[in-house]
């Protein structure tokens, strides 16, 4: 009778890490009026600062600048929660013994 194969699995050793952190979780939103302003400036550069050619762009820019700003999104709390949960992810650590 051949010997039975072991059903025991070898544990997987993961690489140790010092801390968990997401880099730059807060994305800055660009100003929506920048595209209209650059169009108006290029129109002024090509046609001169005349009201006839660039009047529509100027009205669009004024409307964009006078519109209320959108509410800023709150800061991301992902790094706080990662720091809070890190001891559970890391697992038990061997304590250094102090002889004194």
Domain residues for the domain of 45 are 31-65
Q: Is residue 52 in a domain?
A: yes
Q: Is residue 93 in a domain?
A: no
How far is 39 from 34, CA to CA, in rounded Å? Answer: 9
How far is 55 from 61, CA to CA, in rounded Å? Answer: 10
Q: Is residue 58 in a domain?
A: yes
Count up the domains in the chain and report the number: 1
**Residue 12 corresponds to which tokens in the numbers above?**
């997987």
Per-residue pLDDT of the chain in tens (100 residues, 90 and over written 9) = 666 666 777 777 766 667 677 777 766 677 888 999 999 889 888 877 666 778 888 899 999 999 988 777 777 788 788 888 777 776 666 777 676 5
The pTM for the full model equals 0.45
Q: Is residue 61 in a domain?
A: yes
Q: Is residue 37 in a domain?
A: yes
Q: Is residue 76 in a domain?
A: no
């Amino acid at each position: 009778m051949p010997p039975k194969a072991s059903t025991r699995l070898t544990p997987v050793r993961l690489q140790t890490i010092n801390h968990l952190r997401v880099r730059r979780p807060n994305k800055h939103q660009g100003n929506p009026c920048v595209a209209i302003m650059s169009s108006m400036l290029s129109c002024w550069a090509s046609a001169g600062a005349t009201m006839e050619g660039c009047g529509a762009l100027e009205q669009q820019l004024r409307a964009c600048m006078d519109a209320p700003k959108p509410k800023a999104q709150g800061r991301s709390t992902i790094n706080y929660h990662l720091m809070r949960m890190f001891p559970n992810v890391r697992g038990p650590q061997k304590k250094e013994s102090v002889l004194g």
